[in-house]
Amino acid sequence: MGELPINPNTFIIVATRGHRYDNVALAAAARTSAKYVGLLGSKRKIILIYEDLMRMGISNERIREIARAVGLDIGARTPEEIAVSIMSEVLMFRLGGTGSVMKLEERLMGRIEEKHGAAAVVAD
């Protein structure tokens, strides 16, 4: 990673085939100034790798900063859905979003109901 220009605006996701070198890759990522570092894997695997990071001398503070399984919980199953989940989380993190469902606030719904009547019109 020494050759790549990594700074606090860098996002790093460790996603390897077979997970053989995930701990080494994540340790290298943890030693950078990247604000976002995440790992694709099961919770069990991630816990084991974070334990490896502690044994490798990565500080608990840095591990807490990067401790995340990547992606938002959208029920993704396919590789394409998982990719959408991961990129959604990256954008949420970058833009400062919450990841919660976007719906009109109750007070706005009250205003709309007052303006147009409380009963909803059902179209046939």
Domains belonging to the chain, first-starting first, are 11-99 (3.40.50.720)
pLDDT band at 101 (very low <50, low <70, confident <90, very high): confident
Q: What percent of the chain has pLDDT over 70?
A: 93
Are 36 and 93 contacting, i.e. CB atoms less than 8 angstroms apart?
yes
pLDDT surpasses 80 at 83: yes
Over residues 67-89, the mean pLDDT reads 92
pLDDT at 106: 76
Which alpha helices (H) appear in the chain, and where do they start and end?
22-30, 43-55, 60-66, 79-95, 106-116
The values of phi and psi at residue 63, to 5°, are: -60, -40
pLDDT band at 94 (very low <50, low <70, confident <90, very high): very high
Q: What is the pLDDT of residues 32-58, one digit of tens each?
A: 999 899 999 888 888 999 899 999 999
Which amino acid, one-letter code, is at 86?
Answer: I
For residue 20, give Cα distances in angstroms to 15, 25, 41, 50: 10, 10, 12, 14
Is pTM beyond 0.85? Reply is no
Specify the range with the lowest mean pLDDT, choosing from 5-9, 84-88, 111-115.
111-115
